[in-house]
Structure 1
Amino acid sequence: MTFLKTPFGLFFFLALAVLTLTVVLKKWHFGLREEEAFGDDAPERNRLLQQLQERHQELKQLYVTSSEFINPHLSVNDSVFYINGEMSAGNTVTNETEIGCEELAGMKAVDFLGSGYTKTVLKVALPQGLFVALKSVNHQGTDMRMCMQDFKDSQSCHKLVSFKLRKEILLLQRLQHPNIVQLKGQCQDSVLVGGITAILEQGMPLQMIQLLQSPWEERFRVCLGLVRLLQYLSQSPLGSVALLDFQPRQFVMVSGELKLTDLDDASIKEPACQEDSDCLLQFPLHNFTHRCSPSRICKGLNEMRNLYNAYRYFFTYLLPHQAPPLLKPLIHQIMNSTGDLKQSINETLIAFEEVLHMYQSGQHLENLPPFITRDYAVLKGMRSVGNMEYRCWPSYNQQGCVLSVHSAREAALICSSHPQCTSFSLSNERTWTGRLLASFRSGFSHLVPDVNSAVYMRRVKASGAML
């Protein structure tokens, strides 16, 4: 026992004794709390503990998959295991400018963006003037309410329900794509924000009815962004990712781009199988059977699930309607191949990119009359005022008729097809594809100089009728 006689040995012995006593007291205290919450109902307690353990293992596995990307110098024990009853992810910060609890101290709630079974989303303004979305546990949500009905343990239920948000934060750290909402930070200050909170770039909830009324070019943009996202998810750093709860409400719009914002129901595992019948995808109107691979995995099933959901929730409503006539054959081919899952996501993306190229380049307008603009007198460097506007659909301006065109030729063709159109103007304003915005009018009172604009007026025949 000579070791204990040294100052260092004595200090080590006392530290060990204090640590042992602390662990014993914590276990005793936790046991009292369990008894208060459950009484003699051991099966319920065991069921809750089992669910907590299952969520813990799911998050642990996800972190093991992601840890090298997030911080190669941290071990799993450093960042994801329970510490004093709480799961810590505070050491997973990778961006020095990441927003944390300190930056939220002076925040101001601006708007309520939505809530679901598990989470609530608020739009807040930070002191530095930045608007962000705060996603936190919905303490009044269905998941929390059902947990409390079953187990009557608020702390454990909060821990159980918060697992989805913790999982989402890890996925947002690992899956980075222009069509996935950006994680700007996180906070775990229970006093300030009521528990774990994700700080996201601020987007607007997807309004499908409003999107249906938008120009075809904007609807195509949404579908193209979705296909690019699904192609990325099919071969992401985590493997093939399936969006199990694939609904329009899982997406937001950020500056015209569709972005995925809910990943808590994402799965990074493809189903195991013994035979082909185990690789069955069931939808309300269509079922698909995939082959079971030699490795006993339904390889590619996640990709198929995502693609068909994109078809039934997005493509069906947004893609064919009001498409440019000369692009409709390509659009119909895309609809047929995705509706029957005849092509992979890579092949589908190639088809979308071909449509985009033709639309941007104007190749779909090669059959336009080459001299159609001769029917119009052009006044460059001028802008019409005192305009008499008329409405058309779908228009970029609901109070008038503003459409996307490749050139003055296409604008002239559109004006000639509108009986009320007597003129149109072009400026340097462009859409996301680089196409021009043309404003069509039934008349105007006078013209004013504008170096960025040109006015095209329909010529009048000798009879007084418009050409």
Structure 2
Amino acid sequence: MKGHIIFLGAALLFIGIFVKLSPQGKGSYNDKYLSLLGSPHSPDLRKEIAQRHRDLMIFHKMLLGRQRTDPEGEPLRILGAEPPPRETLTCQDLSDLSAIDYIGSGFTKLVLRGTLLNGEAIAIKTVHGEGNDVKNCVKAYGDRVGCHRLATYKLQKEIALMQILRHPGVTQLHGQCYVNSEPADLRVTAMLDLGSPLEMIQLLQAPWEERFKVCLELVRLLHYLAHSPLGSVALLDFQPRQFILVEGNLKLTDLDDATNEEISCRQDADCALTFPARSFAVACSTGGTCMGANEKRNLYNAYRFFFTYLLPHASPPALRPLLQDIMNATGDLRFGIHETLKAFEDVLSYYKSGMNQSWTQDLREYSAQKGFRINETTNDFRCWPSYNHQGCLLSMHSATEAAQFCSSHPRCWNFMIGQQRTWTGRYLVSFTSGGARLIPEENSFVYVKQSSDNGSHDVQNIQKG
């Protein structure tokens, strides 16, 4: 907690700089901001800075290419890329932020939360001056200004990649700010989507459908990265912590360790992809690069960090053979990203169709009450995994499937189908025990188990109020 307070204090001081300085408007990449200001003491540090500067200039040229127009006045597009959405936030918005709070910090960057004048909350990403990236550099070279500039280029690279890699699975850049407060002091801030960290323990407690959604969105992102405007892009630091959830959707938020360079090679032996538990052979092309290494690296990391934990656990029985095929094929890298995406889309289609289940439960065993919902405050029926951890709220394809579930649990006597649906279009169905009360609600149906020889829960015993 003490460390967080220190980070926040430093961050507030940093943000305060923008209040005192004249806002320079929306930041952009140009020679003024990219020039090598000053001259670091160490030749090795100068070499590192120069290399990162050259890499950044490649992205800069691509961004300038987006801004050029053809003779008809229409923007020229990079093949395979969508035009970037207009960025609206500027340095002035940064200086007007309120309720600034610490979110987290990593090797290079510090992430804060702030509130705009319109009440919208955003994420703010800056260089972490006390992070290990800068500290290790200072320890090696003894040049804090040069080391801060070196780390700043990593953030600038990330900003450029967010502008070039336009995909729903990449965090949206809402604005940026560049300020030169001193001749050798370049301060860069990115304003981004505010999301929540991807917590694998929480995901494991979520319904399977939500876990599958995370994996499907990851595969769609990796398919895009394999054919991006930069070519095939690999995430060298592929970890769940590099992702966030924004309104329930998976977003890649750390891109500074992304690369579009394939591994160089002279022979096939140079192309071995080695992971903690496996290694894979990759062919060396005549051009001297390992063919498809970036795509394979991403896919296997998706398997070992995401699929292994999220796909098989509590999955619908009818889908388990398909999911096992995906697990086997990606775990052995027999599937490429094309085949993997198709397999995921096939699973989604089959799941949305109801999986060709022949439900044996007869709905005539339930009395349907239209225009009512169940008062769940007195419900003591629980199931897992449930969308509502205080009750039993599940995704169902139809009322017949819901009846099948309810009839298989002795303590379940009623279920309600309303207007809520999941992202797949399936119904969210609430299951309850006996003794519930019905409350009027248009377009909802309550199904109440008819009385039987061993029970007395028929519709006449359900009070309406």
TM-score between the two structures when normalised by the length of structure 1: 0.83
Instruction: Say which SS state the counterpart of residue 187 (structure 2) adopts.
Output: coil
The aligned counterpart of 1:312 is 304
The aligned counterpart of 1:427 is 418
The aligned counterpart of 1:295 is 287
Contact map agreement 1:66 1:238 (CA 8 A) in 2: no
Of 354, 358, 376, 2:350 maps to: 358
5+ residue gaps, structure 1, are 1-26, 39-44, 74-92
Contact map agreement 2:170 2:252 (CA 8 A) in 1: yes
String of CA shifts for 1:296-327, please: whole Å, max 9, x gaps: 22121100000000000000000011111101
Q: 1:400 to 1:424 in 2, by over 3 A?
A: same
Q: Distance in 2 between matches of 1:463 and 1:252?
A: 50
The aligned counterpart of 1:55 is 52
Q: Which amino acid aligns with 1:63?
A: H
Note if 1:246 corresponds to 2:238: yes
Instruction: Say which SS state the counterpart of residue 433 (structure 2) adopts.
Output: strand
Q: Distance in 2 between matches of 1:30 and 1:345?
A: 45
Q: 1:141 to 1:127 in 2, by over 3 A?
A: same
The structure showing larger relative contact order (alpha-carbon pairs under 8 Å, at least 6 residues apart) is 2
Q: 1:109 to 1:146 in 2, by over 3 A?
A: farther
Q: Which amino acid aligns with 2:68?
A: P
5+ residue gaps, structure 2, are 1-35, 70-82, 459-465
Contact map agreement 2:155 2:256 (CA 8 A) in 1: yes
Of 188, 194, 208, 2:200 maps to: 208
Instruction: Say which SS state the counterpart of residue 245 (structure 2) adopts.
Output: strand
Moved over 4 A (4+): 93-97, 190-194
The aligned counterpart of 1:418 is 409
Note if 1:323 corresponds to 2:315: yes
Q: Distance in 2 between matches of 1:258 and 1:445?
A: 38
Q: 1:431 to 1:99 in 2, by over 3 A?
A: same
The aligned counterpart of 1:390 is 381
Q: Which amino acid aligns with 1:346?
A: H
Of 64, 68, 75, 1:72 maps to: 68
Instruction: Say which SS state the counterpart of residue 389 (structure 1) adopts.
Output: coil
Q: Which sits farther off after the overlay, 177-186 or 101-110? A: 101-110
Of 359, 362, 373, 2:363 maps to: 373
String of CA shifts for 1:85-113, please: whole Å, max 9, x gaps: xxxxxxxx976552110111210144322
Q: Number of aligned residue pairs: give it.
A: 408
Q: Which amino acid aligns with 1:47?
A: D
Q: Distance in 2 between matches of 1:181 and 1:305?
A: 21
Q: Distance in 2 between matches of 1:393 and 1:303?
A: 36
The aligned counterpart of 1:404 is 395
> CA offset at residue 463 of structure 1?
4.3
Q: Distance in 2 between matches of 1:30 and 1:247?
A: 36
Q: Which amino acid aligns with 1:111?
A: D
Instruction: Say which SS state the counterpart of residue 293 (structure 1) adopts.
Output: coil
Q: 1:109 to 1:120 in 2, by over 3 A?
A: farther
Aligned residues with identical type, % of pairs: 49
The aligned counterpart of 2:113 is 123
Instruction: Say which SS state the counterpart of residue 164 (structure 1) adopts.
Output: helix
Contact map agreement 1:421 1:442 (CA 8 A) in 2: yes
Which has the larger share of helix?
1
Q: Which amino acid aligns with 1:122?
A: L
Contact map agreement 2:368 2:447 (CA 8 A) in 1: yes
> CA offset at residue 129 of structure 1?
1.7
TM-score between the two structures when normalised by the length of structure 2: 0.83
Q: Which sits farther off after the overlay, 102-111 or 297-306? A: 102-111
Q: Distance in 2 between matches of 1:123 and 1:212?
A: 27
Of 164, 178, 191, 1:188 maps to: 178
The aligned counterpart of 1:87 is none
Q: Which amino acid aligns with 1:359?
A: Y
Q: 1:94 to 1:460 in 2, by over 3 A?
A: closer
Q: Distance in 2 between matches of 1:274 and 1:398?
A: 56
Q: 1:394 to 1:255 in 2, by over 3 A?
A: same
Of 266, 273, 279, 1:281 maps to: 273
String of CA shifts for 1:70-127, please: whole Å, max 9, x gaps: x227xxxxxxxxxxxxxxxxxxx97655211011121014432211010011111011
Q: Distance in 2 between matches of 1:112 and 1:365?
A: 49
Q: Distance in 1 between matches of 2:401 and 2:161?
A: 45
Q: CA RMSD in A?
A: 2.3
String of CA shifts for 1:4-47, please: whole Å, max 9, x gaps: xxxxxxxxxxxxxxxxxxxxxxx9x957xx6xxx5xxxxxx111
Q: Which amino acid aligns with 2:141?
A: F
Of 416, 433, 442, 1:451 maps to: 442
